[in-house]
A and B are shown apart, each in its own frame.
Chain A
Amino acid sequence: MSTATSTQQAPAHGHGVEHHHEPGFWQKYVFSTDHKIIGIQYGLSALVFLMFGFLLMMCMRFQLAYPGQKIPVFGSLLEAMLGDAAKGGAMSADLYNSFGAMHGTIMVFLAIVPLAFGAFGNYVTPLQIGAPDMAFPRLNMASYHAYFLGGALMVASFFVPGGSAKSGWTSYSPLATVAEFGKPFNGQTLWLIGMVMLITSSLLGAVNFITTIIQLRAKGMTWMRLPFFVWAQFVTGFLLLLAFPPLEAAGVLQLMDNLFHTSFFLPTGLVVGGDQLPVAGGGSPLLWQHLFWFLGHPEVYVLILPAMGIVSEVIANNTRKPLWGYKSMVYAVMSIGFLSFIVWAHHMYLTGMGTKVSTFFQTTTMMISIPSVMILTALFISLWGGSIRFNTPMLFALSFLPMFGIGGLTGLPLGFNASDIYLHDSYYVIGHFHYVVAPGTIFGLMAGIYFWFPKMTGRYMNETLGKIHFWFSLLGMNLVFAPMFIQGLKGMSRRMADGGTTYFGADDIAIKLNTSITHAAVLLGLAQLPFIVNLFLSIRNGRKVESDNPWQATTLDWATPTPPPHGNFATEPIVYRGPYEYSSPGAARDFTPQGQKV
Chain B
Amino acid sequence: MEIPYTYKARPDTGLYNAKVGIWLFLASEIMLFGALFSSYILLRVQAPDGVWPEMRLGWPHGLLNIPIGTFNTVVLISSSVTVVMAWASLKMGKIAAFRRYMILTLMCAFGFLGVKSYEYNEKFTHYELRLKNGEVHTGHLEVNGKHPGFWSFADIWNLDRLTKEKVAEVQFTADPPKPKAGEAHAAEAGHEHVAKAIKRDEISRLEAFIPRNHNFFAIYFTITALHGLHVFVGALVMAYFAFPGSRMWRTNPEQFTNRIEVVGLFWHFVDLVWIFLFPVVYLL
Contacts and interface: CB of A to CB of B under 8 A. Distances in A.
Contacts of A241: 24, 27-28, 31
Contacts of A214: 13, 15, 20
A243 B34 CA distance: 11
Contacts of B10: 215
A384 interface: no
A135 B2 CA distance: 10
B32 A249 contact: yes
A261 B1 contact: no
A251 to B, nearest CB: 10
A262 B27 contact: no
A250 B256 CA distance: 37
Interface in A210-254: 210-211, 214-216, 241-246, 248-250, 252-253
B36 interface: yes
B3 interface: yes
B17 A215 contact: yes
A294 B35 contact: yes
A224 B17 CA distance: 21
A207 B4 CA distance: 17
A298 B277 CA distance: 28
A359 interface: no
B134 interface: no
Interface stretch (A276-284, A485-493, A505-513, A519-527): A276-284
B215 A283 contact: yes
A16 B4 CA distance: 12
Contacts of A249: 32-33, 35-36, 39
A23 to B, nearest CB: 13
B218 A256 contact: yes
A284 B46 contact: yes
B5 A215 contact: yes
B145 interface: no
Interface in A103-159: 131-137, 139
Contacts of A133: 1, 3
B214 A250 contact: no
Interface string A265-288: 000100000000011111110010
A206 interface: yes
| B-side interface size class | 35 or more
Interface string A34-55: 0000000000000000000000
A208 B3 CA distance: 13
Interface string B14-43: 011100110011011101111110010011
A135 B17 contact: yes
B47 interface: yes
Interface string A1-22: 0000000000000011110000
Given A215-B17, A216-B5, A249-B36, A260 B212 contact: yes
B50 interface: yes
Given A248-B32, A268-B48, A283 B43 contact: yes
Contacts of A242: 27-28, 31
Given A133-B3, A252-B222, A211 B214 contact: no
A266 to B, nearest CB: 9
A16 B50 CA distance: 67
A245 B2 contact: no
Nearest to A134: B3
A559 to B, nearest CB: 17
Contact of A203 (B20, B28, B211, B212): B28
B213 A282 contact: no
21 contacts: A135-B3, A139-B21, A206-B28, A207-B24, A207-B25, A211-B20, A214-B15, A215-B4, A215-B17, A215-B20, A241-B28, A241-B31, A245-B28, A249-B35, A249-B39, A261-B211, A264-B219, A279-B212, A284-B43, A287-B43, A294-B35
Given A211-B20, A215-B13, 19 more contacts: A132-B2, A135-B17, A203-B28, A207-B25, A216-B3, A216-B4, A241-B28, A242-B31, A245-B35, A246-B35, A249-B36, A256-B222, A260-B218, A262-B212, A262-B222, A268-B48, A278-B160, A282-B43, A282-B215
